């Protein structure tokens, strides 16, 4: 509950200071997301994450960030 309230606050602050949403940026292309997710999963630093995550997990995070949900 507190985490969701924090997310909403960040969204409000982003709007207030006019930080665009990823989906509003023309140079961000959804067709590149799979390659980004795969490269992220292969990155050596990925092993240091608190939770295990694979390319599909990264893809989920990327899509949620892009779509704003």
Half-sphere exposure of 18 (CA within 13 A, CB side): 0
DSSP 25: -
Would you tell me how many other CB atoms lie within 10 Å of the CB of residue 3?
7
- Averages of pLDDT over each 10 residues, the chain, 69 residues: 92 94 92 96 89 94 90
pLDDT at position 43 is: 92
Q: Is 30 left (phi over 0), alpha (psi -120 to 50) or beta?
A: alpha
Planar angle of CA 25, 32, 34, nearest 5 degrees: 130
């Amino acid at each position: 509950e507190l985490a969701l309230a924090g997310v909403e606050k960040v969204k409000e602050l982003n709007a207030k200071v006019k930080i665009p949403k990823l989906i509003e940026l023309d140079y961000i292309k959804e067709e590149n997301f799979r390659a980004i997710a795969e490269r992220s999963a292969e990155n050596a630093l990925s092993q240091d994450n608190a939770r295990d995550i694979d390319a599909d997990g990264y893809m989920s995070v990327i899509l949620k960030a892009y779509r704003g949900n």
